[in-house]
Structure 1
Amino acid sequence: MLDFMENVQNAFYEASHWNLDNSYGALNATARALLEFQTPKGLKLQISSLAAPNFATSYAIGNVGVVDGSVSYLYSSLPLQRKLKSSDLDLHHVIRGYRHLQELRRPDENWWWEVWHNGKRIDRKDTLLYGRIFLPQSRLDALYLRRLSPTQQLRVAAVSDSSLKNGGTILTLLQNDFGKYSTEYMYSTDSALLGVRGLYNFGADPRTGPTEPITVQQIAEPIHGRFSAGAELYYGLLNKSGGISTGLRFTTLPNHTGFPYTMTLTLNPLMGNLSSTYSVKAGPNLALCSRFDFNFYSYESEMQVGCELWRRRRNTDVEWAVKRLRPDWERRTVAPDDDVTGILKARVDQDWRIGLLWEGRIKELLFTLGASVDLKKRDQIFRAVGIELQYSS
């Protein structure tokens, strides 16, 4: 489950019309959500608040080994309107699950962002500042996020920690999203790492969609899926080493009448790693995923399967009758997932290592309960057990 500050950052992306899914880094987001979820260790409690539409705070304490905690502050120049109270928020905003990719959105025009007053341009570029200090380790994480234009974003993340080489590291990303394709340019002070990656979406170009003439064939054969291809290349100037990878993805779109599904294939030719995934939304409450990894240098392989099962609230006949009797002016359009109360996740690999996770909400409290199990280690089957509790106002 995302913590409060991650949810706030996603609210900033949503308010500034930035598509997190249209990047090479998100190519395998669905498979990672279903197979790579983290199981908590020990007990952790987080209390957060959106004190104002532009300012948020969060405090966390845990007992993994020793008692530790963190204090976080966040400022956004763009007012955030998403519901962030733990009793009101949409669980799909904080629980990573099967991702339904939407139709590509046409980027905003530059002049849409202009604000003029008395003949002078007074608009400012939307900015987000975030800082988090971990105690007693005295580690500091910082994030600077700035929307340079409707299609460009600058992201600077920094970590200050005495245990790291040179006392910390800074990662800079210049991201571009033109709808049809996206690019990212990276620089990290760790080994002076330089990188570039991009993603291209085949099919219609959202920038020219409404103005292009629609043929009879397009009307008869609507597009139900999207095929994407991407690659990344990086090189460390100090350690004289680099890497390259490429990937493909096909996913169904909302107008697909059958089961939604996503297929990906990624290849790292230098390391010899090949990975394929298949994820399917088998029903309104069930999603399944499988991943097969193979190395054609060592001939080693790995298999993982996982699933998620959403739990919905069951209304009694009396509650149903009361809802039907409400005045018309009080009615609203209810989203299909408004009655979701929690989710159960499970994964297993060929070595019988199992991960279990139960996430949901009780009253005004968000909870995450999880365990890691290794069936081959009879003397210590449970590798980790933990629970995380979140409350936000």
Structure 2
Amino acid sequence: MSISLAVAVLLLGVADSMVGSYFVLFVTDYAGLTPLETGVFVSVHGAAGIMIAWLAGRGFDRRPSRLYAAVSMLCGGVALWLMPLIRSYPLFLLLAVTLLGALAAAFPQLFALGRHLLGDGSAAGRSVALLRSVWSLAWAAGPLIGAAVRAVAGFPAIPRSAAVVLAVAAVWVLIAVPRPGPPHPSAVADDRPDTRRPRGTTVLPTVGVTLFFTAMFAASVVMPLFVTGELAQDDAAVGVLFSVCAAVEVIAALLLAAVPAHISQRLVILTGMGGFVFFFALTVLADDMILLAAGQVVRGIAIAVVGAAGIRWFQDTMAPATGRATTLFANASTAGMVLAGIVGGGAVSLLGYTGTLLLCGAVTVVATIAFALGTTTHAGRPPLAPARRPLPRPRGPAGSEARSRADRG
């Protein structure tokens, strides 16, 4: 794994988690958005991020470059710096679909860079797990940094501090991360109609990953309410549980890097999804902190496994289209987050906290089945090779003679 790339992922993760942990509080308490306006903003931002990230992924496959990651982080930095100055809701939405939406491309671009720089060997597979562990570490540290910044300088300092971190990360990518080589010829050829993969290859697996992240994000919203409301635990218990999950994520991702290359990534992912179902069962049955903490250990392992092995599976399946593969996985995560807001909010009002957690468990079961069915046919299938082009015919008299013989024969 490139150390320079790990530093870039760490900086991006710290900035993302600083803002992500306090975003809703910022836009409602400081910017004055209503819950409905906040929901629309999050949905619009998610949709714009999916589209921009996808376009950047296609661009990376055609012409690999560090600029995609650097520019996306700079755009996000500018957006975060401007956020405390904006009071107009239309301007917030404009920011969501432009500069802030562009930030969504940074994560898949960094992981695509890692795969492109290390190639298709075992080192590339290990690098995904190691980079994912760095991302988890950043998300363990970022909220604490955000809390310290808020305590010292208030809400507006959080997005601006994150903006500075993003600017540093963008410069770091341009000066420290190695320049990627030329694109693989078949990555460009994959766009031609005669070399395009069957659409069914990744449809069901993408649905499965999207549903997994839907359940994950929805549970993240419901868990604090379940712990403090249903189980009558202290507010501090929520912080302890999420810290346990974050720590386990880092360790699990590091251990995943040691898994032998011959072990099926499909099997690893399905094991992670099955473990997530077990997490919901433990949580619903819990009546004290011991079972809750055990559930968070299982949750951390599941998130790390699906997060790291999922990226690798998409990269292997869609190779050599590294940019599009990594972006497809990241966009599935973003789509899951958008759906989670709808599912989580509606389910709590109808089913309560326990019922919503059970619903998330059921969604995870469906996600596991979808991924299993979608990968059965294509498990172990090598990347699709581009169609052979006919050899050019020789020109001149010799070419005419050859054509004449071919016509006769």
- Greater fraction of residues in helix: 2
Interval of TM-score (by shorter of Structure 1 and Structure 2): under 0.3
More strand by share: 1
**Superposition TM-score, scaled by structure 2 size:** 0.23
